[in-house]
Amino acid sequence: MTAPEWLASPNFTERRDGYDPGLIVLHHTAMESAEAALARLRDPDAGVSAHYVIGETGRTWQLVSEDMRAWHAGAGEWRGRGDVNSRSIGIELVNSGRHPFAWPQMLRLEVLMQDIMTRWRIPPEGVIAHSDMAPVRKSDPGERFDWRALALRGLSVWPGPEVSRRIADPAGFADSARAFGYPCDVDAEALLMAFRLRFRPWASGPADAVDAALADDLARRFGVDHTGPAT
């Protein structure tokens, strides 16, 4: 596939404290066109940007160099670490949030992610949703995004195939979700909403045994201790 088209945004700084990117944060633009999204992400008054934007046809633009700090994540944390902008590469997918993501777009995303993950040695568990690191503020890329497809290609993580059959106490869901990486200072209701956006978008109601089992599996396989303050 062709290289991304360079379309520079002025909205970036150097990464703080010498951080290299260890995360990829996926977003949707929540706008009706690529042109509108690109205009906003390059507007100095808007104060937002991303490293990459991928259109519905797979056309891809690079707005910020990967070694620089794009302004895409905002306030939040993942695995107990704040300043996600300094620790991540942000990819915006042109999508209003109301319809499925186009196949050419997903194919281009997979190729781009493979390159980035190889270049920066980012593991599959380092690929997260904007809603994962900021559950109260954000819901993108949303319930229409196919996380399982990425996981099947080694580009993200997914609970084990038999996990949903386990008996787990729903009361343990929030602790397991936080152990997997979700922010510690977010209440259980917001955690459940963010978790289900990614892993059970069809589910409803209070946290149940399936939520608890899935979160426990993810925490056991990919979690870290992040009981201290975010830095």
As a whole number, mean pLDDT of residues 75-84 equals 96
Q: Are 137 and 75 in contact (CB under 8 A)?
A: yes
| CATH 2.120.10.60, applies to 5-152 | no
Q: What is the pLDDT of residue 32?
A: 85
Q: What is the pLDDT of residue 165?
A: 76
Q: What is the pLDDT of residue 161?
A: 85
pLDDT at 229 over 60: no
- Output the average pLDDT for the chain: 94
Phi, psi of 152 (to 5 degrees): -65, -20
**Cα–Cα distance, 67 to 88 (Å, whole number):** 10
Q: What is the pLDDT of residue 231?
A: 42
Domain ranges of the chain: 5-152, 163-222
Residue 92 is among the residues annotated as catalytic for this protein = yes
Q: Are 198 and 213 in contact (CB under 8 A)?
A: no
Q: What is the pLDDT of residue 223?
A: 87
Residues sharing a CB contact under 8 Å with residue 69, sequence separation 6 or more, in sequence order: 12, 13, 14, 15, 16, 85, 86
As a whole number, mean pLDDT of residues 63-72 equals 98
As a whole number, mean pLDDT of residues 60-71 equals 98
Instruction: Tell me the pLDDT band of 230, cut-offs 50, 70 and 90.
Output: very low
pLDDT at 224 over 80: no
pLDDT at 61 over 60: yes
pLDDT at 225 over 70: no
Q: What is the pLDDT of residue 228?
A: 39
Residue among 56, 92, 125, 162 flagged as catalytic: 92
Q: What is the pLDDT of residue 68?
A: 98
Q: What is the pLDDT of residue 1?
A: 67
Q: What is the pLDDT of residue 163?
A: 82
Q: What is the pLDDT of residue 226?
A: 43
Interval 178-199: pLDDT, tens: 999 999 999 999 999 999 999 9
Interval 119-167: pLDDT, tens: 999 999 999 999 999 999 999 999 999 999 999 999 999 999 888 777 8
